[in-house]
Chains A and B, each alone.
Chain A
Amino acid sequence: MKSESNRKVLLIVPSRIMVRGIEGVFSDLGEFKVEGILSDISRTSEARLKNIDADIIIIDPVVFDYATRQSGRSKISEYSDAAVVALQTVTMEDDSWKQYDEVINIYDAPADIIRKLRSALSSHQESPATDSHELSSREKEILICVAKGMLNKEIADLYNISIYTVITHRKNITRKTGIKTVAGLTVYALLNNLIDSSSVE
């Protein structure tokens, strides 16, 4: 288990002022730490999104264009299993906010922000089920390792994540595919061209 201090936060916030403001709140109150900052959802951002093992993502939904805003949350979960909190900088339809684990308003007091991040984390852990039924890229990577016979510890070391996170990914893989055993996952990985025949000799 990760310690309670220094939960990793990834910001997807275009405004520099707001980024500095959030960093200021975290440095005053501890518990959370900004691990990475993205100013948009471009292709290069997607790659970084995948590689940062964040506990929470704070996103300003203005990075999505109007048409994709409704599905913003599930787009994030394609790349990361972190809890996702929206930063409310503009007014939008109520439904657009409901998809997020929490919503931070720019007028929230620092303590409220921390409280909301905590509740986002705990509600996210209670129900890891995301809307997406497809495997995320990270889940696919871990599935490939499992299919090749790697142990949880080896997978954790390879991706520099905790064993706990590996186990969570594996649970999600089983929930999405319905396949529980390693032997079954190997068959799945091969049928879906995630591994080739040389890996299953």
Chain B
Amino acid sequence: MGLICENVKDMSKINKEASRMVLSPSMKLADLIELNYSLLIVLSRLGIGLGFGEDTVEEVCRNHGIDLNSFLLICGIYTYDDYIAPDGLLKTGNPADVVRYLHSSHSFYLEDELRKLEDSLEELVAPCDSTQKKVIYRFFSEYRKEVENHFAYEENTVFPYVDALLHGNSRGGYSIEQFEENHSNIDEKLNDLKNIVMKYLPPVCDTVLRNSVLYHIFFLEDDLDRHTLIENNVLVPMVNRLEENEKRK
């Protein structure tokens, strides 16, 4: 019995390793999307348009001036739940491209996603009474403010710091360690909103609308999770390395 369990474990490990191998520079980008279609959003944030024909991952990255290793790291986190960023990629990846990705996903959340979510939420709760609408609107605007503050810190403090470090003119008094310590959770309110929409809105709210708001929240939750993973497991280790190099100079 024990032996069989061991074998099964080994098998699944091999299978996972095998599917991880698939994520390689020489594969066609179209096949990568086939493997995990949520990477479509990653492409658009990196400014890679569709219509790439039979181009491989490597070719597409080269054509768009995107560092291949950073691209593979981001795709890895988006594709595998248990992804551990390989040391080799972290060593050679370009933090500037990771920052570029994070920055454009920030504006994507604030300018597209949250706005869309707010619009559909407003439509959903339109039949509620005015007090109910008021508290829900207020809840949402508090959530948005929280997200804005969270992003603003990264945009105004963390990203400029990484940029300066990359250009060799690092300013003292800040280190990526502080970012790790202060990296707050912004997922609690979104999770609350999900529960409110799913469990507690009055029955006058339309079911179809309610579902679409829920799909949207589930998508955002997952996407923000991955976003945080990219910050913590890709950007932070890359910047740690830069800081060490800086010290050695």
What residues of chain A have their CB less than 8 Å away from a CB belonging to chain B? 177-181, 183-184, 186-188, 190-192, 196-197, 200
Q: From the candidates B134, B135, B192, B202, name the one contacting A181 in the complex (CB within 8 A).
A: B192
What residues of chain B have their CB less than 8 Å away from a CB belonging to chain A? 131-132, 134-136, 138-139, 142-143, 188-189, 191-193, 195-196, 199-202
Whether the pair A183, B201 counts as a contact (CB closer than 8 A) is: no
User: How far, in Å, is A128 (CB) from chain B's closest CB?
Assistant: 20
Whether the pair A192, B131 counts as a contact (CB closer than 8 A) is: no
Whether the pair A191, B201 counts as a contact (CB closer than 8 A) is: yes
- Which single residue of chain B is at the shortest CB-CB distance from A178? B195
Closest 8 CB pairs of A and B: A184-B192, A197-B131, A178-B195, A179-B192, A180-B188, A191-B200, A190-B135, A187-B139
Whether the pair B196, A184 counts as a contact (CB closer than 8 A) is: yes
Whether the pair B142, A187 counts as a contact (CB closer than 8 A) is: no
Whether the pair B200, A192 counts as a contact (CB closer than 8 A) is: yes
Contacts of B199 in A (CB 8 A): 177-178
Contacts of B132 in A (CB 8 A): 190-191
Whether the pair A200, B189 counts as a contact (CB closer than 8 A) is: no
Whether the pair B131, A200 counts as a contact (CB closer than 8 A) is: yes
Whether the pair A191, B192 counts as a contact (CB closer than 8 A) is: no
Contacts of B202 in A (CB 8 A): 191
Whether the pair A183, B191 counts as a contact (CB closer than 8 A) is: no
Whether the pair B131, A190 counts as a contact (CB closer than 8 A) is: yes
User: How far, in Å, is B136 (CB) from chain A's closest CB?
Assistant: 6
* 27 A-B residue pairings within 8 Å (CB atoms): A177-B195, A177-B199, A178-B192, A178-B195, A179-B192, A179-B195, A179-B196, A180-B188, A180-B191, A183-B139, A183-B192, A184-B193, A184-B195, A186-B135, A187-B135, A187-B139, A187-B192, A187-B196, A188-B196, A190-B131, A190-B132, A190-B135, A191-B135, A191-B200, A191-B202, A192-B200, A197-B131
Contacts of B143 in A (CB 8 A): 183
Given contact pairs A178-B191, A179-B192, A180-B191, A188 touches B131 in the complex (Cβ within 8 A): no
User: How far, in Å, is A197 (CB) from chain B's closest CB?
Assistant: 4
Contacts of A200 in B (CB 8 A): 131, 134-135
Q: Report how far A188 CA is from B191 CA in the complex, Å.
A: 13
